[in-house]
Chains A and B, each alone.
Chain A
Amino acid sequence: MRRNGRSDHYDAVIVGGGVGALTAAAYLARGGGRVLLLESGERFCGNAKTVEFAPGYRAPLFSHMVCGLDGRVLRELGLAKAGLEFAQQDVKLIALRPGGKHIVLSQHRGVSASETGDESHAYRAFQKEAARMAGLLAPLWDGTLESSAAAAALVQRLHLNPRDAERVNALVRLSAAAYLDLRFGNDALKAALAFDVFPSGMSPQEAGSALALIWRQGHGGVSQIRGGPAALAIALETAARDAGAELRGSSPVASIVVEKRRAIGVTLENGEMISAKAVLTSLNARSALLGLVLPEALGFGTAANVPAPPRLATAQLMLALNGPPPFAGLKQGDLGARFLIAERPEIAAEAKGAALTGVIPDEFVIEAAVPTAADPALAPPGCHVLSALLPYMPASPCGGWETECEGLRKRAMAMLEWFAPGLKDRVVAHRLSIRGAANSSPPLSRLIAPYDFRLRTPIAGLFLCGRGTEPLDALCGRAGRLAAALAVTHSASGAP
């Protein structure tokens, strides 16, 4: 096999594009390594896309808002210089309620609503506690804590004092609903806050979802990227190229070469073999291990333990509007907020229950946003785009998505129409997209396992850096940064 000294030998090869892969490429190249990123498509965006779904109308695919973007990645890679801008930060959350009595939540301005009573104090206390708990768990979530062979309990390795250890211990067992119950009185407010656990795939009634709530609250406000997630991918691409990474598009990878349970390179579909000290991929564990690694190299035992395909998915409805969406009872300047439609607090749990059995729920939760409010360039002048996320959908419904799509779109439209009378008449075009959950491993164990636990695979030298390795299904960039660090350690630890 061709090895050292050849022109096709790299320190790291990255399979797939996307935020995680580009971040890893940029970090590895900055560290002086020889890095090659291989993407099957022409553009290096992975899932971070802004799609033109009607002539002149563009909308962010799924991530219409971002939360928990790693500040260090932004700083260290100089993404602002590479063209990344935020259209707005600290995006408000508005829980829409019939009759226009909406609840408005803002990271900095607290809670305001006509009938929640005086819950501002409780909200401040909740924010403070969430920030504190997130700080305590930062080594776990931001990757400084590695899962080592020593079986020491995590609480001890986080060096918590007994009181904090007590709190963390209680927190990992609580559901978001129970956690909020202890702190707030108003049901509508509780439902609005609990909704934020949806990227974890858990419902607010599920044990451990309190931790997902803390993750969201503790990672600061929600923001909107100018130009949508594609702009983030472009900025990262620029940063990676500037750092010296080699990016190669239209190069589908056929397999990952494994020798003695170590990844030593990849072969392309055109037959070319590229050897590398480490291989990183933004694919999920299932498609990387079952799709790209030969079964005999993987071993039967490992193959049997690869996580099953996810049961849940998220749907997104994009609407092209010829005017602003007529949401009832909104104040001036509130159009840029996230809008939450959840008529009852139990809806999320019920929808998830239905979705798990392959049924499209009758009632569901909607998170809607109007990206054009803060970023008018996404649509023609005076026109708007509305993006509605519908979480807790089945990954493969009993009837198949082709037949179920239309019914779901109609129901979602009806729900939106209820809060924005006259919306129907402004719709010029629409599109419904479905995306499976990034990871099917137990959602709580993603939140309480150290990062490297999720980044490593049973194959030495093969690391994951996609969105499935983040604690929550969100655009973060942390996985790429940490996978790069792991790959460097791996290469230094004596690759043959």
Chain B
Amino acid sequence: MDRYDAAVLGSGPEGLVAAVVLARAGLKTLLLDKAEAPGGRARSREFHPGFRASLYSDELAAIPNRLYRSLELARHGAVLLPSRASVCLSASGESVLFADEGLNALSVPPAMLPGLTAFRRQIETARAAIENRAALIATPKRRRWFGARNADDRSPAWPDSGFLAASLDELLGTHICDSTLRLHLAADAVSGRAVSPFLTGTALHALAPGVGGSGQPPSGLGRLAAALAAEARASGVTLRCGAEVTDIHIRHGRVSSLVVAGTAEVETRAIVSALDLKRTMLGLIHWKELPDPLVKRVGRFRMAGARARVLFALDGRPCFAFGRDPPGAGSGPIHVIGTMEALSSAHDVWRAGVLPEAGLVTLRVPSLADPRLAPIGKATMTATLSAIPAQLFDGPWNEEKRSRLVALALAAAERAMPGVTSLVLAHQTVTGADLETELGLTGGDLEGGEIAPDQVLGFRPFGEPEWQDARTPIHGLYLAGSSAAGAPFFLGVAGERAARAMLADLREGRLK
């Protein structure tokens, strides 16, 4: 039987970060993933001969600078750049927003500029507060309802009540009067999810990984995954791919070993799971080992995916329909959206398990930023569709339903790039059901759980003390994946926190 000091399940970005932190602390660390190559959701793949794209997502949450430096990602070739501009085509007009505030003065009506700046500042302040560790903890000592504890407390631990009690529409409405701009910011906030912007608590989505703002590797997420994996190997992590963990054995409420399909048991006292909450607690641990209330509690955690993707191989560079050809637009996201009401009804239809007729489609042409993603003279285009149920009410996904996704994506693409349909050489669809089977995400939910006030930050997955700091009620099991605190807002934070919590427990002898 193999023995390791620590095992990490799942080699997505969070798992890789956790493994690096553990290995650097001198632990004999094993990283397991059922896929053939590390990277998880950040993997890029060839989907048509010569055409490559990130299969599951084009954007990840921003990785904090501190982590970026300490993981030496730059040395391994992962250079992060924010997309320079995002474009929104809505029923009320088109708008272009730049990551650079100075450029916005060119594209946004002057009267709108102060509101936009104020909105972005509010988001930045709140995100800074989240990055500040305190917001990720739900103990009453640290956590505050809202507002600063006293006048000289300059870093409120919890984003102010606006994000908790308001809807996305109201939050945007307080800063921005122009409906086109409001739709653009809403589309940036909810791309790939199903959100009714009129419901209480949806303002939180404005804090979630902004499509426009955060730094992304221009050559696709695969580059980031490769850099993280290189750093993990360099730190001495044993990386074992194609190894699916089927069971975690518990003895007296403590982790004792884990079972890898087809091989012997691996003995370990400490496990960081970078899988989602439900898969970890209900999929890997026999339910008899868990107390009944815990099983119920985990079962009630709301997870439901709303993302589908269509990848297109194009026989040439598409021409954009925007009036001005904004510098950098096209390599960034292009949102095609109707109205706020359409977002709301797409959400309602999604809840019922029905394919929406129209909704938000986010297009990208990643080969504009990195020509290596397509053969010379050709292009790769991705479409991320929002509010697409992972499970449809009328049975599993089939060719006919997938072709409806393609039609939805192409209809949106025609608005942004007229004539693009004639360029399509091949396409591939990725539905929520595919995310579930290929990546192991419960309900196809890439966010690891609905983004709602009771399921984010210190309350993710739960607010109870035994769940704080990435811990679980099982000794030696730590949660690092997308269901852990901080996960949908920042990349790598959950992995680092889980690894640090484990190291602290080892140091204090709690895992003996």
Contact = CB atoms under 8 A, between A and B. Distances in A.
Given A151-B150, A154-B147, A356-B344, A442 B170 contact: yes
Contacts of A349: 351
A99 B196 CA distance: 36
Interface in A192-226: 202-203, 206-209
A200 to B, nearest CB: 9
B177 A207 contact: no
Interface in A126-158: 150-156
Interface in A143-202: 150-156, 162-163, 165-166, 168-170, 172-175, 178, 181-182, 202
Chain B binding surface, main DSSP class: loop
A207 B147 contact: no
B285 interface: no
Interface in A280-310: 304-305, 308
A151 B201 contact: no
Interface stretch (A77-85, A320-328, A443-451): A443-451
Contact of A173 (B141, B344, B454): B454
Nearest to A201: B200
Interface in A441-484: 442-445, 448
Contacts, number: 121
Given A208-B453, A308-B173, A448-B161, A442 B200 contact: yes
Interface in A415-454: 442-445, 448
B463 A354 contact: no
Contacts of B149: 152-153, 156
Contacts of A353: 196, 344-345, 347-348, 351
Contacts of B166: 442, 444-445
B466 to A, nearest CB: 13
Contact of B165 (A152, A203, A445): A445
Given A156-B149, A356-B344, A206 B200 contact: yes
A344 to B, nearest CB: 11
Residue among B150, B347, B348 with most chain A CB within 10 A? B348
A444 B165 contact: yes
B452 A154 contact: no
Contacts of A165: 140, 145
Given A153-B144, A153-B147, A154-B145, A170 B454 contact: yes
A274 B453 CA distance: 48
A16 to B, nearest CB: 26
A290 B435 CA distance: 51
B288 interface: no
A314 to B, nearest CB: 17
Interface in B142-173: 143-151, 153, 161, 164-167, 170, 173
B354 to A, nearest CB: 12
Contacts of A166: 138-140, 463
A4 interface: no
Contact of B453 (A172, A182, A357): A172
Given A153-B147, A445-B166, A202 B200 contact: yes
A356 B454 contact: no
A356 B452 CA distance: 20
A119 interface: no
A343 interface: no
Nearest to A170: B463
Contact of B200 (A154, A182, A356, A443): A443
B320 interface: no
A7 to B, nearest CB: 44
B263 interface: no
A153 B351 contact: no
Given A153-B146, A155-B145, A304 B177 contact: yes
A246 interface: no
A375 interface: no
Contacts of B173: 308
A175 B170 CA distance: 19
A153 B144 CA distance: 6
A376 interface: no
Nearest to A311: B198
Residue among B141, B143, B199, B453 with most chain A CB within 10 A? B199
A356 B145 contact: no
A175 to B, nearest CB: 7
A358 B341 CA distance: 8
A453 B345 CA distance: 33
B300 interface: yes
A181 B165 contact: no
A169 B145 contact: yes
Given A169-B463, A172-B164, A442-B165, A208 B344 contact: no
Nearest to A179: B454
Contact of B147 (A151, A168, A170, A182): A151
A175 B454 contact: yes
Contacts of B198: 311, 356
Contacts of B164: 172-173, 208, 444
B146 A154 contact: yes
A298 to B, nearest CB: 16
A350 interface: yes
B141 A162 contact: yes
A305 B196 CA distance: 22
B174 interface: yes
Given A170-B463, A357-B341, A178 B147 contact: no
Contacts of A305: 174
Contact of A208 (B138, B165, B351): B165
A428 B454 CA distance: 49
A178 to B, nearest CB: 7
A79 to B, nearest CB: 34
A359 to B, nearest CB: 8
A154 B348 CA distance: 34
Contact of B459 (A162, A173, A202, A311): A173
A294 B495 CA distance: 57
B509 to A, nearest CB: 27
Contacts of A152: 147-150
Nearest to A350: B348
Residue among B140, B153, B161, B177 with most chain A CB within 10 A? B140
A272 to B, nearest CB: 37
A163 B139 CA distance: 10
Contacts of B454: 170, 173-175, 178, 207
Those 10 A-B pairs whose CB atoms lie nearest each other, nearest first: A207-B201, A353-B348, A173-B454, A173-B453, A444-B165, A445-B165, A153-B144, A357-B341, A155-B145, A162-B140
6 contacts: A152-B150, A346-B351, A357-B344, A442-B165, A444-B165, A444-B166
Interface of B: 138-141, 143-151, 153, 161, 164-167, 170, 173-174, 177, 196, 198-201, 300, 341-342, 344-345, 347-348, 351-352, 452-454, 459, 463
Given A178-B300, A350-B351, A448-B161, 20 more contacts: A151-B147, A151-B148, A152-B150, A154-B145, A162-B140, A163-B140, A169-B138, A170-B454, A172-B145, A172-B453, A206-B199, A206-B200, A207-B199, A207-B452, A208-B201, A349-B351, A353-B347, A442-B165, A442-B200, A444-B164
